Structure 1
């Protein structure tokens, strides 16, 4: 072998090894960018028990006839890409629509991917419950507290079931989920508490011994181990179906707007395509969300020109938004509906900046 050929091969081997490493070994980074958008007035694809797929409404009204709607109310998401190779990270770093951040900013080192996923799913359920409660309150529908989920290791396991409507806690009547939380929160771990409820139209009672609130709660407060939400007393119900990959609390505003639109006459959007994001509390207050700039870009890529922004996110939202998209500032569910009405009639709704 000639010295020149040996020199060439000696130079190529490290380069080949580096290329292989760059395209196979993962780095502790993730990329974040615009994710899919979902029309909450539209439908979602779900898998049936026999393995087929079907489309069902994202927001399905049960117990009464839903009002006809027009236009779209898009919930927006952030796409998070994990297990990046060095080459992937460089490619996303050069993409202006992406942000590359240390992995532990998204997946804390003390929590597994499954734990993060379960936490996001739980937040999504809470968001759905809050969206329903806010919509019902806005519409003036009388409410009652209903058990949405029971912790299999909690104090109420084997005593309460999802769907039970709570009527009293500790001998005091309760009219909504907030009252339930307050009544339980007044008790200490180890206290026995009597709970009244209706199940399948029958009135029943049970007792449970409260557990400690856990590492993230007040150790002096008792824990019943249920997730409770508000449901209309007149039998109206709403079933929400979203892509299982979507988690977190930030879909609340758009889900609540869709529920109001389907339970009241007229079109909330005036037939327009509107996107947005925001957490929501049962009293209708719209709260902050993460990834606002990615979500605005996702809406823009979907051809949407109006985006509902929580007021607390406005300062970040106005930093280099895509051209041609209007950032509508909202603080409450009622304010969001007023802004949509103003926009659909040709007026100028409140905007960020």
Structure 2
């Protein structure tokens, strides 16, 4: 049973190499992978920026609005609004992400918050108090903004998905859309670390995306609902895998003392989510969050994980793909979704191999207490 499922995962990898479209993760066939298309820059390059217009400011990776944010409360309504009180109540507590790779959307319809802007463009500008109040018919006093101006961030991707936010201070944003203004509070790593610790010490449940239910960690290891086998947690590491300044926890799992799986814990919307990946999918994990995945000797690649609540995708940075002809096996090579010669791909793989690998810690209560410190 276990070998058949592993074969299905690896076969799925080979098929997704045939194109760089997005493939929905199929929970019925374990960890089949949704692949995120790379249509522009390779991850790790500079932010994609619009041409600066008069009044706009440059965006850098150190900007304070990057990270995860939680909707804390409603602070003001415009004279006309698309949102009801029930709508607002359903939004309180939800988590939004703003990073180089993705951004949570918000607009005139409540369902917009379920959309994600991919490779978003951030446009920063300073809006005077007079101009803001005239355009929005909401005062700075209602929003709790001191001073004569506010920094506005417009977020958008090539599909027009995005959001509008205003920077109140280093730990507070104002989200605007549909005639409502919501206060966002920064999700701090300390609270996330505490949530992970409670899960790993078996004091709190997490949501297993594979079994689609909340479960205690030790029950997850032994309930045989996935692969019909027991897992043993042997080591773990703490790492920001998706570049949102919020860490993930990756736990190495063995089956019959053989390393075979990883359980990746990710925090979103006040919930710890777990994703089960085979060691062929998540191999040689590096400190920058990149890793090697493989579907066979001639089918391999480098990627990063991207999360979307109870789903995930692999952002492919480069890969090789084999195809069997009548007599010969042909291998094609791609970097940033562009065809390259083998020698360029070899250099790409060598650079990946030379990166610093993560430090793994033995899975024990003392190490969990030591490494997951608030």
Q: So what's the TM-score if we normalise by structure 1?
A: 0.25
Higher helix share: 1
Higher strand share: 2
